[in-house]
Amino acid sequence: MRKNLLPVAALLLGTLFLFLGNGLHSLLLPMRGTTEGYSATLLGLLGTSWATGFVLGCLLAPTLVRRAGHVRAFSGFASLLAIIALLTGLLVDPIWWVVLRAFTGFSTAGTSMIIESWLNERATNESRGAIFSLYIAITLFGVVGGQMMIPFGDTNTTLFFMICGIVYCLAMLPTLLSTAVSPQPLKQVSLDLRGLYRNSPVSFLGILLIGIANGAYGTLGAVFGRQAGLTDSDVALMVSTVIFAGAVMQFPAGRLSDRMDRRYVLAALAAIAAVAGLLIYLVEPSGVILLISFVGIYGATANALYPIAVSHANDFASPEDFVKISGGLLLLYGIGTIIGPTIGGPIMTIMGPYGLFMITACAHTLIAVYAIFRSRMRAPVPVSERDAYSTINPGTLTTPESLQLSPRAAPFEENNETTPDPDRRANP
């Protein structure tokens, strides 16, 4: 294991610093914005802008990397992240923040795609699974670690903006000092909406709605916490609990979906998330422990939906279409994260902070209903013919380039004799 991981240790260290900065900056802006009195509508646009930049980065970054090279492109993107982090501390203005947040999303996509392509180049058939799993764990721990810095300082000063800049600069060093050979050019990603829907209507609609719900909560969760009366420490704990609960839930939910119709698992988890969101809206729990418990249940179920929906789509995709289908669904998720905070901000302005969970409850209810409806329309792929469930990050923590690193992509890429089964392309 150590022999397999040593060649990519520098890249994984850079990944940790990159996502530490992402986690801290993404939580810092809405919390500082709430203190400044910015409306939920304006703060929601921060998420809209970031997600738009991220999707555009996934589409356009490969061209920029081909022109500049991996090392120079990575340094450029990371430098831009550091500059923007510092500028948002100097220019405390919602309009500037919204504009700059788009460049942050674009640069995040660029840096992530470069790291993921580098890891894929260094991975062997034996180490691919270990590297992929470790990469997922590092991104999650990085985001949570960045968020948990909040209790140790004052969000009303420039301290955390400066820390973000420092961390992003540190992310450059492992890559600049690495002697690893630059990988092959990044693969261009396309978004075929008709093809995605034909492959799996449930995954198509489900991924879009999951993106809407997660995008709304991901951007406005900190705003909700502040407006609900939580302290900075409590807000950091709440958002981190959601991420960890979702990561833990993936294992039992994924294993269950390997043994039964994934649409039933998707419907059950979405229904629980919808009930949890509705209860938060109706009860408006004021105690910190009770509120975080409710939100934790919501996060455990809501964040387990994305990988199951992707697995369901891959059950009906031929082996050579794995990267195309999964990459398209990731971009579709990105479109959902653009929509979520755009509608979430105005609804919170009208309905109050707890209105955030009415948005998530509506989205998850639609997922549950449609999954059950489609399960009556067509039988599932037999268990013996399915791909095994694989733990993956929610959309905006990875890019389509990471799919090349997934163990699922290895069989077809390394064995061109794999023959697709045409019967598995039908609509589920």
Q: What share of the chain is helix, strand, coil (3-state, %, to 5)?
A: 80, 0, 20
Q: pLDDT tens-digit profile of 380-390? A: 777 666 666 66
Question: pLDDT tens across 21-56, in order?
Answer: 999 999 999 999 999 999 999 999 999 999 999 989
CA separation for the pair 227, 235 (Å, rounded): 10
pLDDT at 404 over 70: no
Query: Does residue 111 contact residue 15 with C-beta atoms inside 8 Å?
Result: no
- DSSP one-letter string for 24-70: HHHHHHHHHHHHTT--HHHHHHHHHHHHHHHHHHHHHHHHHHHHH-H
Of residues 306, 264, 301, the one with CA closest to residue 394: 306
Whole-model pTM: value is 0.87
| Token output for 58 | 């996934």
Is the per-residue pLDDT at 317 higher than 60? Answer: yes
- The domains located in the chain, with CATH, are 1-178 (1.20.1250.20), 190-392 (1.20.1250.20)
**How far is residue 398 from each of residues 108, 109, 392, measured CA to CA in Å?**
9, 8, 9
Query: What is the C-alpha separation between 371 and 130, in angstroms, rounded?
Result: 32
Percent of the chain clearing pLDDT 70 (strictly above): 81
Q: How many helices (H) and strands (E) does the chain have?
A: 16, 0
How does DSSP assign 121-144, residue by residue?
A: HH--TTTHHHHHHHHHHHHHHHHH
Could you read off the pLDDT of 149-187 as tens digits, one per residue? 999 999 999 999 999 999 999 998 877 776 656 666 676
Nearest 5°: phi and psi at 321? -95, 5
Q: Is the pLDDT reported for residue 2 higher than 70?
A: no
User: What Rg do the C-alpha atoms of the chain give, in angstroms?
Assistant: 21
Q: How does residue 321 score in pLDDT terms, banded at 50, 70 and 90?
A: low
Looking at residue 388, its pLDDT comes to: 63
Cα–Cα dist 148/161, whole Å? 15
In this structure, the dihedral spanned by the alpha carbons of residues 361, 367, 368 and 369, taken in order and rounded to 10 degrees, is 110
Name the residue type at position 14.
Answer: G
pLDDT for 423 equals 38
Tokens 């392309």 belong to 425
Can you tell me the distance from the alpha carbon of 299 to that of 284, in angstroms, rounded to the nearest whole number? 17
Given phi > 0 = left and psi -120 to 50 = alpha, else beta, which region is 284? Answer: left
Instruction: Please give the pLDDT value at position 126.
Output: 65
- In this structure, what token pair is assigned to residue 231? 């302290």
- pLDDT tens-digit map of 356-373: 999 999 999 999 999 999
Is the C-alpha dihedral spanning 354, 356, 362, 364 positive or negative?
A: negative
Find out whether 273 and 301 touch, Cβ atoms under 8 Å. yes
